[in-house]
Amino acid sequence: MQLTPDEEAALSGRHGDIMQMAYRILVATGEATGAERLVPVEWVHLSGVNYNTIGDAGEAFLRSIRDRAKVRVRTTLNPMGFDIDSVGSYDLGEGFIQKQRSIQESYAMMGVETTFSCVPYDILQLPRPGSQVALAESNAAIHANSLDGLHTNKESAFSALASALTGKSPYGPLRQDMPPDMAVEMAVSDPTELEWGMLGYFAGRVCEGHAGICGAVQPDTRGCKAICGGMGTSGMCGRFSFGEAPPGRERVEFGPAEAAGIRDELNTAEKGDLIILGSPQLSFGEIRDLVAMLGGRRFAKKCMVFCPRTVKERAAAAGYLDILERANCTLLADCCACLTPLVSAETTDSVTTNSIKGAYYLGRSNGVGVCLKPLNRIIREETV
Amino acid sequence: MKRMVGGRARGIVMRSFRPINFLGMIDKRTGMVGDISHDLHGRRLAGSILVFPHGSGSSVGAYTIHSLQSQGVAPAAMICERADLTVATGCAVAGIPMAVATESEMGMLRGGDRVLVDTDAGILEVE
């Protein structure tokens, strides 16, 4: 990758150790994406916030740079570990809360907006289409490239941090408007959001760049979010579009056999002790739909619903918070189901969810069993 | 071999044929592979020359790699078939040499081999 004289100077340490670290990260990012130069970015979204994921080493790292590191562009933030409104109901311990607060303070001191959301596309005014951005949350990066007309690498937590500190990012292939690398044919009929999530998970495994999804029309926003979540979980793919790939490109089918294979891998329980919705976090529209779908019925077991803070506030103002509480739902803001410390294998055997991303991390990292069902079936079978 | 992060290391090859999701599969304090469905299940990464196809999944896996280094349980070097940003930047912050190897270089590396890697000089030698 070619650097300007000023960028070379920063890499050699002449602008301090923070900038040197940032440029080292950008150079590694440039090598990994095959980029030839850095380009300015207009918005950065950071991951690496939940103390449950970054741990003591991550907390100490952020604390060690916060006095000297300042973001140069608008920078927003992924979810943290808990909702402060209800943290007392969970057995997290004072140590966890303190470390999480330190992480929050570190980001705030660097000038980051503490949005604590993995669905920035649902709650923020986005830069105009065509803009270069750098989003570390995998589902949000895929959403930006595929549905919002923005351009981002499939950033890592550190490449996005380096972009926030420098305002720049390597001009990798996903930043250029390239046609699909391969076609993935949707051959499951009448897919729910669960099958769309599986298709995303499948495409993320077989495709490394841009997947063209053919054989189906674009689903509603819940289906699209499910594709983003599934795709971000399984592999390196950073974009999808609906339509054919150019002639000569590889074509693979996602049919009932492929869906069954993913179900065998991720569905590990017959039923769940509790229900988890919101991986990625739910938008206000999805909360409104949930209220409508419930139609006055209540869940027979506890249902955890993850959403951004602004969505929880809007839901409260609209009266949905009370309705959902009566329906046995707990709305949790600022956190999400992915690597949540609020679900532990010590107290929970298994969960029911409609999210492929949630199923993957709840199973692998939280160590609980997972029962996968689409939302309409969860409501039909689990309410009274 | 193409350098992603410069450096030199010696160690025993730990070979995996499956992508590694550092956030979901690896214990960040011990470096133990916890995922029962992975071909490295139950192994500890510390000090190894970790050879695998590529990283997958969460962008936060970069912090996991940094955490492994802070705890003294990180691999000594990583060699992949394909580059991904989570692994490359995690190694950049942690100071772990990392490279993308050619198909023939990958074919030459077997679990248990003792190798020398110098990603700056482009050296990969089975000793």
CA distance A9 to A13: 7
- Three-state secondary structure string covering chain A: CCCCHHHHHHHCCCCCHHHHHHHHHHHHHHHHHCCCCEEECCEEEECCCCHHHHHHHHHHHHHHHCCCCCCCCEEEECCECCCCCCHHHCCCCHHHHHHHHHHHHHHHHCCCCCCCCCCHHHHCCCCCCCCECEECCHHHHHHHHHHCCCECCCCCHHHHHHHHHHCEEECCHHHCCCCCCEEEEECCCCCCHHHHHHHHHHHHHHCCCEEEEECCCCCCHHHHHHHHHHHHHHCCCCEEEECCCCCCCCEEEECHHHHHHHHHHHCCCCCCCEEEECCCCCCHHHHHHHHHHHCCCCECCCEEEEECHHHHHHHHHCCHHHHHHHCCEEEEECECCCCCCCCCCCCCCEEEECCHHHHHHHHHCCCCEEEECCHHHHHHHHEC
Query: Between A170 and B36, whose confidence is greater?
Result: A170
**Tell me: the pLDDT tens digits for B37-88?**
899 999 999 999 999 999 988 899 999 999 999 999 999 999 999 999 999 9
- Is B52 an 8 Å CB contact of chain A? no
- Is B39 an 8 Å CB contact of chain A? no
A145 and A218 assigned to the same domain: no
A40 and A115 assigned to the same domain: yes
Q: Mean pLDDT check: name the lowest of A221-225, A244-248, B88-92, B117-121.
A: A244-248
User: Cis omega before residue A280 (within 30°)?
Assistant: yes
Spell out which residues of chain A touch residue B62, defining contact as CB-CB under 8 Å: 48, 156-159
Output the pLDDT for position A312.
98
Using DSSP's 3-state secondary structure scheme, residue B26 falls into strand
Output the pLDDT for position B116.
97
State yes or no: pLDDT of A235 exceeds 90. no
- Closest residue in A to B64 (Cα–Cα): A54
- Is B116 an 8 Å CB contact of chain A? no
**Tell me: the pLDDT tens digits for A268-283?**
999 999 999 999 999 9
**Cβ-defined contact of A54 to B85 (cutoff 8 Å):** no
**Cβ-defined contact of B85 to A154 (cutoff 8 Å):** yes
Chain B, residues 72-111, CB within 8 A of chain A, namely: 82-93, 98, 100
- Closest residue in A to B87 (Cα–Cα): A156
Of B4, B90, B100, which has the smallest distance from its Cβ to A156's Cβ?
B90
- Closest residue in B to A361 (Cα–Cα): B24
- Distance from the Cα of B5 to chain A's closest Cα (Å) equals 6
A82 and A107 assigned to the same domain: yes
A244 and A364 assigned to the same domain: no
Measure CA A204 to chain center: 14
Which of A109, A141, A175 is a domain's end point?
A175
Region of B68 (left: φ > 0; alpha: ψ -120 to 50; beta: rest) is alpha
A36 and A150 assigned to the same domain: yes
- The count of CB pairs under 8 A between chains A and B is 138
Tokens 């009370």 locate to A322
Output the pLDDT for position A364.
85
A315 and A345 assigned to the same domain: yes
Of B34, B61, B71, which has the smallest distance from its Cβ to A57's Cβ?
B71
CA distance A275 to A267: 14
Decide: A327 and A298 in contact? Cβ < 8 Å.
yes
A83 and A217 assigned to the same domain: no
Domain count, chain A: 3
A113 and A205 assigned to the same domain: no
- Is B24 an 8 Å CB contact of chain A? yes
Using DSSP's 3-state secondary structure scheme, residue B6 falls into coil
For residue A125, give both structure tokens.
Answer: 């005014």
Output the pLDDT for position A340.
93
What is the pLDDT averaged over residues A319-336?
A: 97
- Closest residue in B to A230 (Cα–Cα): B57
A121 Cβ contact partners less than 8 Å away, ≥ 6 residues apart: A140, A143, A144, A147, A148
What is the pLDDT averaged over residues A244-262?
A: 95
Spell out which residues of chain B touch residue A160, defining contact as CB-CB under 8 Å: 59
**Tell me: the pLDDT tens digits for A186-211?**
999 999 999 999 999 999 999 989 99
Which of A175, A199, A215 is a domain's end point?
A175
**Cβ-defined contact of A364 to B25 (cutoff 8 Å):** yes
A36 and A149 assigned to the same domain: yes
Catalytic residue ranges of B: 58
Output the pLDDT for position A137.
95
Q: Where does the pLDDT of residue B36 fall: very low under 50, low under 70, confident under 90, or very high at 90 and above?
A: confident
Mutate to test the interface with A, among B60, B65, B69, B119 (most CBs of A within 10 A): B60
A148 and A189 assigned to the same domain: no
Of A27, A48, A162, which has the smallest distance from its Cβ to B63's Cβ?
A48
Tokens 């109901």 locate to A89
Mutate to test the interface with A, among B54, B56, B71, B89 (most CBs of A within 10 A): B89
Closest CA to B2 of A270, A117, A31: A31
Of A24, A53, A60, which has the smallest distance from its Cβ to B23's Cβ?
A53
State yes or no: pLDDT of A76 exceeds 90. yes
A101 and A236 assigned to the same domain: no
**Cβ-defined contact of A157 to B62 (cutoff 8 Å):** yes
Q: Where does the pLDDT of residue A384 fall: very low under 50, low under 70, confident under 90, or very high at 90 and above?
A: very high
Helix or strand (DSSP H, E) at B115: strand B114-118
What is the pLDDT averaged over residues A98-112?
A: 98
CATH number at residue B52: 3.50.30.10
What is the pLDDT averaged over residues A90-115?
A: 96
Closest CA to A286 of A351, A210, A214, A229: A229
Query: Whole domain around residue A37: which residue ranges?
Result: 5-175
What is the pLDDT averaged over residues A20-49?
A: 97
Mutate to test the interface with B, among A17, A158, A161, A234 (most CBs of B within 10 A): A158
- Distance from the Cα of A23 to chain B's closest Cα (Å) equals 10
Domain count, chain B: 1
Decide: A28 and A172 in contact? Cβ < 8 Å.
no
CATH number at residue A362: 3.30.499.10
Query: Whole domain around residue B74: which residue ranges?
Result: 2-126
**Cβ-defined contact of A158 to B28 (cutoff 8 Å):** no
A123 and A187 assigned to the same domain: no
